[in-house]
A and B are shown apart, each in its own frame.
Chain A
């Protein structure tokens, strides 16, 4: 797997210091996550709020500083890199954010927003070249070039997210980190944007890390998926395998809890999964033990490590499966 990996994350740990009620706490948002993204692959990261999936994405593009671990892009270490090396990696690894309303500056035109990475890095030799690049990029994401002169308030949510994608692909990156890019959109628009991302991935030969809480969306776009819970990866496998035959008890609950659009298959009341523990009071042992139907004494003291399970590079972090 690591042979043709374009992005490799090893034992990433990220913590935040927070103050609550006058006391200082250390929250371990990511607690030793390892991932590798193969060239041309779409890897999904799925998990519920607070599991650390967004923090993993933000660590990769340098928006948060990890405590330890390694993130390498084409073999070059990204953590602590500076100067031209950092600049080059930033143009190659681009991010699409969740909220298309918050991620665009309301006072700048769409054209300026799209061209920003190019402006900063001196891509354009002339105004004509700049506007040609803006037009081409807007067209690539399915927007009319005339959008360049508009402001974000004139656009719908779906159009804004297209602009978010245009911003990301302008410098022709190799990797796009998409953090819940369709969660804020209505289903009919969501389908359009997902289709666009799949098309762009093919046309631009992108590798993609697709972060989402929605296994339905992940199932659509990614070939492999990593399931996160409380800062750790609990299962990693081909997406089909995870959806059809989840191994980790948490993945099972997650798959079972998807509201199936079929009134003859009702699950209500069949699942009583409890709630995740507070991030401030991480339990010793497995973080899922308190909710887990398979939990044994060992789970309460011993943190399960991700270990290979079956074929296809499948891995699971559980003592009891």
Chain B
């Protein structure tokens, strides 16, 4: 459904570009959730914005690579050009629903606005569809909530409204950028359940971006781990948690408090991620890696297939033992 090839997003002058996303590739099938996980600044949000065609301008630009939606190249098209050209449909939801909603408009009107753009319907018909969408996202009391303002809703309900707006275009691909990070856990579990249900029911491809390995384990079918603008490991979710092959993935899992209950000290990954542009020759993770060897500091590591659907960007991958 969605296919991203060698996507490179750069900032800075044409002559000396800094790659903040460097050669990212992945595919997502219908009815599949790909989890993209990484820490702040690793480039995961930039990847999603580039895929959506929503990179802020002026600023970062797609320097190389292609984004294919149902086989058509949409890389250099703005969202409205994609709609006009009749390409596949994509929608996106964000972390903080309050800043994405207009505070002075009723939510029914905000959903209906998206319906009008995509369905060409107007007035009552659009509102009727808005109500259907609210039912689809399991908003309690949808008919009443059409006339509510965003401030009258809870954080979880606002995120449901954002999902309803995203669904107005009947997307084939939904990009969710940390949609539950601002929510409490008891609400988060409901929104994650809703996304899984919608994915199955509407046969969407979902790109789910998060920093939370727990959320990934709960929701994703496949996982791409991102570090310093690169995807360092891709695997089916069970394989990744069972046998992480990249030292960074393993480190991320090991330092989760919930995997270490009762331990005296938490394992850590020493140091900090490199700033964009400071990456020299060799592996981007070399300076923090527990398994670093001499070649890692001079040559870029190869992308190696270690098992079916399991790839790792490492010259000396872990041979897998269960993560403690």
A contact set with B: CB distance below 8 Å: 48-49, 156-158, 186-192, 194-195, 198, 213-217, 219-220, 240, 243, 253-254, 256-264, 266-269, 271-273, 275-276
Decide: A258 and B190 in contact? CB cutoff 8 A.
Answer: no
**CB nearest to A243 among chain B residues:** B261
Decide: B266 and A275 in contact? CB cutoff 8 A.
Answer: no
Q: How far is the CA of A191 from the CA of B192 in the complex (A)?
A: 25
Decide: B267 and A259 in contact? CB cutoff 8 A.
Answer: no
Decide: A216 and B241 in contact? CB cutoff 8 A.
Answer: no
Which residues on A sit within 8 Å (CB–CB) of B265?
195, 198
Q: How far is the CB of B291 from chain A (nearest CB, A)?
A: 16
Q: Which of B185, B193, B253 contacts A254 (CB 8 A)?
A: B185
Q: 21 A–B contact pairs at CB < 8 A?
A: A48-B184, A156-B272, A157-B40, A186-B39, A187-B211, A187-B252, A187-B256, A191-B267, A215-B185, A216-B256, A254-B186, A257-B189, A258-B185, A259-B214, A260-B258, A261-B214, A262-B217, A263-B238, A273-B190, A275-B156, A275-B187
Q: Which of B39, B190, B211, B219 contacts A272 (CB 8 A)?
A: B190
**CB nearest to B195 among chain A residues:** A268
Q: How far is the CA of A213 from the CA of B258 in the complex (A)?
A: 13
Q: How far is the CB of A142 from chain B (nearest CB, A)?
A: 11
Which residues on B sit within 8 Å (CB–CB) of A192?
268
Q: Which of B196, B213, B258 contacts A269 (CB 8 A)?
A: B196
Q: Which 3 A-B pairs have the closest CB atoms?
A: A259-B214, A216-B258, A191-B255
Name the interface size band of chain B: 35 or more
Decide: B268 and A219 in contact? CB cutoff 8 A.
Answer: no
Mask: chain B, 178-221; 1 = CB below 8 Å from A; 0 = not: 00000011111110110011000000000000011111111110
Q: Does B260 contact A (CB under 8 A)?
A: yes
Q: How far is the CA of A187 from the CA of B262 in the complex (A)?
A: 17
Decide: B272 and A261 in contact? CB cutoff 8 A.
Answer: no
Mask: chain B, 234-278; 1 = CB below 8 Å from A; 0 = not: 000110010000000001110111111111111111001000000
| Most A C-beta atoms less than 10 A away, residue of B188, B189, B260, B264 | B189
Q: How far is the CA of A271 from the CA of B220 in the complex (A)?
A: 18
| Most A C-beta atoms less than 10 A away, residue of B157, B252, B257 | B257
Decide: B186 and A271 in contact? CB cutoff 8 A.
Answer: yes
Q: Does B154 contact A (CB under 8 A)?
A: yes
Which residues on A sit within 8 Å (CB–CB) of B214?
216, 258-261
Q: How far is the CA of A215 from the CA of B217 in the complex (A)?
A: 17
Which residues on A sit within 8 Å (CB–CB) of B187?
48, 275
**CB nearest to A185 among chain B residues:** B40
Given contacts A195-B265, A260-B217, A261-B256, contact A273 B272 (CB under 8 A): no
Which residues on A sit within 8 Å (CB–CB) of B154?
275-276
| Most B C-beta atoms less than 10 A away, residue of A190, A259, A276 | A259
Q: How far is the CB of B237 from chain A (nearest CB, A)?
A: 4
Given contacts A219-B261, A263-B237, contact A191 B193 (CB under 8 A): no
